[in-house]
Amino acid sequence: MNESDGKRRLPRYDEAALAYEHPLYKTLLAAPGLSVSVAPLDLLLSWGTMNSLWVFPMATSCCGIELMSAAASRVDLDRMGTIVRATPRQADVMVVAGTITVKMAPRVKLLWDQMPEPKWCIAMGSCAISGDFYRELYSVVPGIDTFLPVDVYIPGCPPNPEALMHGLLRLQEKVKLARAGQLVAKEYPPNRLDITKPSIARLSDPARDPALSAAQEKSAGEATATDESDERGGGNASAVEPFAAETTSTDVEALLRELGVTEFPKDGAPIVPVEQHVTLARRLRAMNYRIFVHVVATHFPEKTGAKAAPERFEVAYALRSVGSGSKIASWRLSLATGQAAPTLVGVFAGADWQEREQFDLVGVRFDGHPDLRRIMMPGNWEGHPLRKDYPADKACTPWR
Ligand code: SF4
């Protein structure tokens, strides 16, 4: 950081600090009469740098496919010495190809920091350049130049592999200018520079709480432990009924009626009383519905006027049976404001992360969940972005 004028900013590009200390270079400088070689040697080094731009691929979505295609025979990036290396430590150019989210941005910055100098950055596609369609979305960074020093912008949605080649050629020109000391450094908004701090202190950070490391270690051990009971999270193995080989939708309907469901709407799954929810899941599992497909929560805000209705949440579940003739069983819970759904983690291990996702995005709580915390948004995020009343332009990130 340059703080001489009181402002924080990324370091300027310093040609003198490049220090190409190759032994051959030193030998030539030391040898009498060979100083005349320095100018051609400089050209040689420029040529070498320009034609060995190794790419670190930061490919997150559709633009990444075009980046991959550029390495294939039609464009063949190799012919200009550009090869892709999946490690930041040997790469010269980070190509960001795709949408970057606010949770991802600090990780991208960390990878950028691990690349050795001199290094370059290409923003490939309108998502990387500006956020594109997702610019106003709560979770998307409106352009990677809010936290990375971008050298070349390649417009398009997506730009094709030829456009990437064109961008690399423009970058070669920029490398040449930098070697000649003619590159003008860019200024970056200082308020953007604080956003890269990880929300959880890293292992090497002295500020990291040792209890956090211990808890993570314990959790990792538990996650990989053999589960003899075929259940998780305090589930009662003796309550699981033996598996039946086959079942039919009539069986499921009979079960639902037995559990007090009387309405079977044609346009949606039946609504099950909350107190029968876990029993239903256990019984279905015993009927060979062993795959937990999804849990999806929807927020219905309060309605006024002729169709007045209080705020509520619907949580939809789906299970799939295994074996030939596989079928889906689905049901919904209807929850009032503040009402929690009983967790299914004790019945299906797969419910764990999915329930966390619904908690994170919609704010539905799952009673008895062993680790109910955010999973997609940063830990310090305010509110639940998939609720209908969530203001999408809320000032809860450094970008807005
Ligand atoms: S710019 Fe278009 S093609 Fe590229 S990641 Fe965004 S949406 Fe996908």
232 inside domain: no
* pTM of the predicted protein model: 0.61
Q: Are 399 and 141 in contact (CB under 8 A)?
A: yes
Report the alpha-carbon distance of residue 279 to residue 273 in Å, rounded.
11
Report the CATH number that the domain containing residue 355 is assigned in CATH.
3.30.460.80
Task: Please give the residue that has the higher pLDDT: either 184 or 105.
Answer: 105
Give a yes or no: residue 85 inside a domain: yes
Residue 13 has pLDDT above 50, yes or no: no
What contacts 137, CB < 8 A, 6 or more positions away? 131, 392
Among protein residues, the one whose CA lies closest to atom 3 of ligand 1 = 158
Q: Is residue 186 part of a domain?
A: yes
Answer with the residue of higher pLDDT: 256 or 7: 256
Q: How far is the CA of 146 from the centre of ligand 1 (A)?
A: 18
Looking at residue 45, its amino acid is: L
Are 266 and 351 found together in one domain? yes
Going from the Cα of 198 to the center of ligand 1, the distance in angstroms, rounded, reads 26
Nearest CA to ligand 1 atom 6: 127
**Residue 12: which pLDDT band, with cuts at 50, 70 and 90?**
very low
The count of domains in the chain is 2
Residue 316 in any domain: the answer is: yes
Average pLDDT of the segment spanning 229-245:
45
Atom of ligand 1 nearest to the CA of 61: 5
Collapsing DSSP states into helix, strand and coil, what is residue 271? strand
Q: What are phi and psi of 92, to 5 degrees?
A: -105, -30
Q: How is the chain split among helix, strand and coil, in percent rounded to 5?
A: 35, 15, 50
Ligand 1: distance of its center to the CA of 62 in Å? 5
Regarding whether 171 and 299 lie in a shared domain, the answer is no
DSSP label at residue 321: -
DSSP assignment letter at 131: -
Distance 342 CA to ligand 1 centre (A): 39
From CA 46, how far away is CA 166, in angstroms rounded? 19
Atom of ligand 1 nearest to the CA of 158: 3
The CATH number for 132's domain is: 3.40.50.12280
Question: Given ligand 1 and candidates 68, 127, 130, 141, which is best to mutate, with the most ligand atoms within 8 Å of its CB?
Answer: 127
CB-based burial label for 83 (10 Å; 0-12, 13-18, 19+): middle
Whole-number Å distance between alpha carbons of 340 and 72: 52
Same domain, 357 and 300: yes
Each residue of 347-358: pLDDT tens digit?
Answer: 999 999 999 999
Does the pLDDT at position 64 exceed 80?
Answer: yes
Q: Which long-range contacts (CB under 8 A, 24 or more apart) does 232-236 make?
A: 232/345, 232/346, 232/349, 232/352, 233/343, 233/345, 233/346, 233/352, 233/368, 233/369, 233/370, 234/346, 234/368, 234/370, 235/345, 235/346, 235/347, 236/346
Burial class (CB in 10 A: 0-12, 13-18, 19+), 205: exposed
User: Largest Cα–Cα distance in the chain?
Assistant: 99
Distance 124 CA to ligand 1 centre (A): 9
Indicate whether 390 pLDDT > 50.
yes
Pocket, ligand 1, Cβ cutoff 6 A: 61-63, 98-99, 125-127, 132, 157-158
Could you tell me the distance, in angstroms and rounded to a whole number, from the CA of residue 68 to the centre of ligand 1? 14
Q: What is the pLDDT of residue 3?
A: 46
User: Do both 158 and 271 map to the same domain?
Assistant: no
Q: At residue 193, does pLDDT exceed 60?
A: no
Question: What pLDDT, on a 0 to 100 scale, did the predictor assign at position 34?
Answer: 61
Give the SS3 label for residue 278: helix
119 lies in the same domain as 248: no
Q: Is residue 213 part of a domain?
A: no
Last residue of a domain, one of 159, 175, 196: 196
Q: With H, G, I as helix, E, B as strand and everything else as coil, classify residue 312.
A: strand
Residues 146 and 290 in one domain: no
For residue 98, give the ligand 1 atom closest to its CA. Answer: 5
Decide if 226 is inside a domain.
no
For residues 173 and 272, membership in a common domain is answered with: no
Binned at pLDDT 50, 70 and 90, residue 233 comes out as very low
Give 316-331 pLDDT, tens digit per residue.
999 999 877 888 999 9
Of 258, 285, 282, 288, nearest in space to 270 by CA? 258
Q: In terms of residue numbers, what domain contains 392?
A: 244-400
Considering only CA atoms, which residue is closest to atom 2 of ligand 1? Answer: 157
Which domain-ending residue is among 196, 231, 258? Answer: 196
